[in-house]
């Protein structure tokens, strides 16, 4: 990039009590480039952009904007100087219209009254200028997630845009919506706007990135031009270790078929058939919105089944409730451990005890709960998932994401399941804990359990699964095994359009 530097930071550091969230980072954004920030959760990406966005102030180091040292008092101040940020969490109010949201906080007035007409007409102008086809009079709640993202971007534009920061913008977009967003980014780029783009989706980088800066543990690992690198190299930079150190080899001993799904139709699931065998790991991949999670939530009875047949160990479980399906021997680990996985105010012991009490081994036949037996079970499970002693007596809310995930993994041991469905098993988990969790998955599979891994993290599925299914638009666009499991193959299946309704 021969363009001049737009924003640069030198030795930017953020110190919190006990934690150095960002440690002396030099970062540079040129005008007209897309610069990807890449790293694990907690690597410092969010801290870095929060300081560029004006939401946070550095402890030391400086930010240079257009050759002059800059300091931002607030997000509004940063916007005044031309830096706009679209955060991951939307700041839209669903019950207000698009126009009201765009002008929230700086509504045009007519004397003491709001000038709704100007608000609408100016919103329309702003939206069409950006090429978004959205009616400013619509309620935000009625928009798709992608359209909401567009409104969020529109909202950011109150003047001259120099730099745009996008935090995980594609996390919940369908691929067509992603295409639209990328077109928009390319247009901004050609107008000389610098874009900082945060994403976990390594497969997107080749499409838009000019340079990639990798962060790990708050420090910068390096900045590389996208054309000089590849995905494996980036993952190695991010994790600090080679890929085969992270993922264990899992012996493949497929036995009898446990789960058979035949033409299952539900909300967001349009006719899926597949089977899972004992002793094998089935990987499930697909973009967000492809229905990969929905499919298994429907199998579990968490979404309504409209037609189709689900058989487990020869027994028809199509019409059973979630509780009966769990009792039949399938356990589902939620991707959202905070919302539907754990009771955060309780200790790991209390969380695990629930499953032991509900499970077959401890409470069956007894009128009263035998807490001694439950406690023995709890400590066996805690040892198995390698939960450190000091964390066992603390409320789960106080544990790190990795340790919370260990507790969640522990729950499937309490319930005596033979088929375990891991939905996004390593969201927000650091690399060290990840490999511990992968070893647990290996042990379960090699002990003869059937394992399903649903993941948006493609390397995870590719390296762990023996066989995989790929979903697109609510149907299974392909099944791969052995040497066919390559990233190219999967990406093709990701964008399979055969299930699209016209």
Partner 1 sequence: MTAQIVSNSPSFSVRRLFVKVGVLPFFLITALVIFTLLSPKFLTGQNLINVARQSVYLVLVSMGQMIVLISGGFDLSVGTLIALTSVVSALGMVWFAGMFPDAIWVAILFGALIGFGVALIVGLVNGAGVAYFDVSPFIMTLGVSSVGAGFALFLTGGVPVSDLPFEFGDTFGFGRVFGIPVPVIVALVVIAVMWILMSRTRLGTQIYAVGGNIKAAHLSAINTKKTLLFAYVICALIASLTGLLLTARVETGEANLGGTIALESIAACVIAGVSLRGGIGRVENVVLGAFFIVLVQNGMNLAQVSSYMQMVLLGALLILAVIFDQLRYRMLMSGT
Q: How far is the CB of 198 from partner 1 (least distance, A)?
A: 27
Q: Least CB distance from residue 328 to partner 1, whole Å? A: 10
Nearer to partner 1, 219 or 427 (CB): 427
Q: Which is nearer to partner 1, 25 or 417 (CB)?
A: 417
Give the separation between CA 35 and CA 40, rounded to whole angstroms. Answer: 17
- Minimum Å gap between C-beta 341 and partner 1 is 6
C-beta closer to partner 1: residue 292 or 411: 411
Supply the DSSP string of 239-267, one letter for each residue: HSS-HHHHSPP------SEEEEEEEEEET
CB 359 within 8 A of CB 369: no
- 172: Cβ contacts below 8 Å, ≥ 6 apart: 145, 288, 289
**How far is residue 273 from each of residues 168, 233, 293, 311, measured CA to CA in Å?**
32, 36, 15, 11
Tell me the closest approach of the beta carbon of residue 170 to partner 1, in angstroms: 26
> How many helices and strands, by DSSP H and E, does the chain display?
18, 22
Q: Smallest Cα–Cα separation from 149: which of 122, 168, 128?
A: 168
Residue 97 has what DSSP assignment? B
Q: What is the DSSP string of 299-359?
A: HTTSS-EEEEEEEETTEE-TT--HHHHHHHTEEEE-S-IIIII--TTSBHHHHHHHHHHHS
Residue 388 vs 394, nearer CB to partner 1: 394
In the complex, least distance from residue 389 CB atom to partner 1, rounded to whole angstroms: 16
Q: Which is nearer to partner 1, 251 or 369 (CB)?
A: 369
| H/E element, 454 | strand 450-454
Picking from 178, 227, 251, 218, the residue whose alpha carbon sits closest to that of residue 19 is 218
Choice between 139 and 302, CB closer to partner 1: 302
Six-digit token pair at 255? 């036995």
Q: How far is CA 391 from the centre of its chain?
A: 26
Nearest distance, CB of residue 340 and partner 1, angstroms: 3
Query: Would you say 350 or 487 has its CB closer to partner 1?
Result: 350
Q: Return the number of the residue (163 or 374) whose C-beta is nearest partner 1.
A: 374
Q: How far is the CB of 323 from partner 1 (least distance, A)?
A: 5
Q: Measured from the CB of residue 145, what is the shortest distance to partner 1 in angstroms? A: 21
Task: Report how far residue 65's alpha carbon sits from residue 67's, in angstroms, rounded to the nearest whole number.
Answer: 5
Binding site for partner 1 (CB under 8 A): 321-323, 326-327, 332, 334, 339-346, 350-351, 353-355, 357-359, 363, 367-369, 371, 394-395, 397-398, 411, 415
Q: Are 70 and 45 in contact, with CB atoms under 8 Å apart?
A: no
Distance, in Å, from the CA atom of 83 to the CA atom of 124, rounded to the nearest integer, reads: 23
3-state secondary structure at position 481: strand
Which phi and psi (to 5°) does residue 340 adopt? -140, 15
CB of 180 to partner 1, least distance (A): 33
The structure tokens listed for 112 are 């003491």
Residue 326: which residues within 8 A CB-CB, separation 6 or more? 300, 332, 415, 417
Contacts (Cβ under 8 Å, ≥6 apart) of 323? none
Residue 421 C-beta: closest distance to partner 1, Å: 11
* Residue 484 to residue 501: CA distance in whole angstroms: 28
Q: Which residues pair with 63 in a beta bridge?
A: 9, 70
**Residue whose CB is less far from partner 1, 168 or 350:** 350
Q: Which is nearer to partner 1, 130 or 427 (CB)?
A: 427
Nearer to partner 1, 110 or 371 (CB): 371
Q: How far is the CB of 390 from partner 1 (least distance, A)?
A: 12
In the complex, least distance from residue 183 CB atom to partner 1, rounded to whole angstroms: 38
Nearer to partner 1, 352 or 470 (CB): 352
């Amino acid at each position: 990039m021969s363009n001049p530097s737009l924003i640069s930071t030198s030795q930017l550091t953020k110190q919190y009590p006990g934690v150095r969230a960002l440690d002396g980072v030099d970062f540079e954004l040129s005008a007209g480039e897309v610069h990807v920030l890449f790293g694990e959760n907690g690597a410092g990406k969010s801290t870095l952009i929060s300081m560029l966005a004006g939401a946070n102030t550095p402890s030391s180091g400086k930010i240079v904007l257009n050759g002059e040292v800059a300091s931002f008092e607030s997000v509004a101040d940063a916007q005044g100087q031309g830096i706009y940020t679209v955060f991951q969490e939307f700041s839209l109010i669903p019950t207000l219209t698009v126009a009201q949201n765009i002008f929230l906080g700086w509504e045009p007035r007519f004397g003491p009254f709001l000038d709704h007409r100007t608000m609408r007409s100016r919103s329309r102008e702003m939206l069409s200028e950006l090429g978004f086809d959205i009616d400013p009079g619509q309620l935000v709640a009625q928009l798709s997630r992608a359209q909401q993202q567009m409104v969020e971007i529109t909202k950011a534009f109150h003047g001259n845009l120099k730099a745009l920061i996008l935090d995980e913008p594609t996390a919940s977009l369908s691929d067509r919506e992603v295409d639209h967003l990328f077109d928009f980014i390319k247009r901004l780029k050609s107008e000389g706007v610098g874009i900082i783009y945060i994403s976990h989706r390594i497969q997107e980088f080749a499409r838009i990135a000019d340079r990639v800066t990798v962060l790990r543990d708050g420090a910068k690992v390096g900045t590389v031009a996208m054309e000089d690198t590849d995905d494996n190299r980036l993952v190695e930079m991010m994790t600090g270790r080679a890929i085969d150190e992270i993922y264990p080899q899992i012996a493949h001993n497929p036995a009898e078929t446990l789960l058979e799904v035949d033409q299952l139709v539900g909300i967001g699931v349009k006719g899926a058939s597949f089977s899972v065998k004992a002793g094998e790991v089935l990987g499930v991949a697909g973009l967000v919105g492809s229905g990969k999670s929905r499919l298994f939530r429907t199998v579990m009875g968490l979404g309504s089944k409209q037609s189709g047949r689900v058989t487990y160990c020869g027994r028809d479980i199509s019409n059973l409730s979630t509780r009966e399906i769990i009792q039949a021997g399938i356990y589902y680990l939620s991707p959202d451990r905070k919302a539907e996985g754990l009771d955060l105010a309780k200790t790991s012991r209390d969380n695990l005890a629930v499953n032991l009490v509900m499970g077959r081994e401890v409470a069956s036949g007894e009128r009263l709960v035998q807490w001694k037996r439950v406690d023995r079970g709890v400590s066996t499970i805690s040892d198995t998932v390698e939960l450190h002693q000091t964390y066992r007596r603390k409320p789960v809310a106080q544990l790190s994401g990795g340790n919370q995930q260990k507790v969640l993994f522990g729950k499937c041991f309490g319930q005596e399941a033979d088929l375990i469905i891991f939905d996004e098993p390593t969201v927000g988990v650091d690399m060290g804990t990840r490999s511990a969790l992968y070893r647990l998955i290996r042990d379960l599979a090699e002990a003869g359990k059937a394992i399903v891994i649903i993941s948006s993290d493609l390397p995870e599925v590719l390296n762990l699964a023996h066989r995989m299914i790929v979903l697109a638009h609510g149907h299974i666009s392909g099944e791969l095994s052995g040497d066919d499991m390559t990233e190219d193959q999967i990406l093709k299946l990701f964008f399979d359009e055969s299930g699209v309704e016209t």
